[in-house]
Structure 1
Amino acid sequence: MLRSYLRSLLSGPLAVQLRRYTMVGASTAGVQMLLLWLFVDRGGMNYLVGATIAIEITIVMTYVLNNAWTFAAMQNSGVRAYLTGLLKTNLVRGTAIPIQLGVLYGLVDWLGIQYLLANAVAILLSGVYRYVLDVRWTWGRT
């Protein structure tokens, strides 16, 4: 069972979905990093406040892109389904915010890592969590 699942990550529909999810995630992570930099370096915000705002903005952006492209075969369509999916992804990704902010805080304040690099690490670490919950709950597929 595990072997066939791992094979499906390399080829087949799951592999395509995972690649698309990763591409959307990388794009929106870039936007999140840019927003964080703007909020902190240009706006003078605390890095944790800036990260929280940047995360929420990219949550919406990520949902729009994933719903249209990554999960097109099981897309949330119609106003009710679309808004329900947006609420679900906000809950999924909202529960990942403490993970991401905790990692960010630990890396910056405890280890002295620059906040943008620390944020990139935090995005990667919380990414698997977000993917599993999005696939299983936001788009209702296993």
Structure 2
Amino acid sequence: MPEFDALFAAAAAIQPRAYAPYSRFKVGSALLADDGAVYAGCNVENAAYPVGTCAEAGAIAAMIAGGARAIRAVLVFGEGAELVTPCGACRQRMREFAAPDTPVAVAGPEGIRARFTMAELLPASFGPANLPR
């Protein structure tokens, strides 16, 4: 998916800007929105746990602030031996704006390490369609 090249570049660029003085675990995330723009975010910790913000939540907030309303693809960038997949809360945040077949890539400095769909990360999810409008 060519979009992942742009998402990788954006997430890799923002990851070093993360504010992670407590965990020292910096994460960057970028998403492709329905308006064709790439929105990025990084984790921002806080001394009063769990007040911090995940990178995915920051990217979603930037997307909403930019006027877009749907996620077409997501990339999460982190370092370490294990895959840095979105936490449970971020999976639900992403699901609010992403369809079950939305692609989600997990990357490290060497490149993309794994690919999932939203449905694989959050099976049998509760989303906007579950609520009456």
TM-score, normalised relative to structure 2: 0.32
1 or 2, which has the higher strand percentage? 2
1 or 2, which has the higher helix percentage? 1
TM-score, normalised relative to structure 1: 0.30
| Higher RCO, 1 vs 2 (CA within 8 Å, ≥6 residues apart) | 1
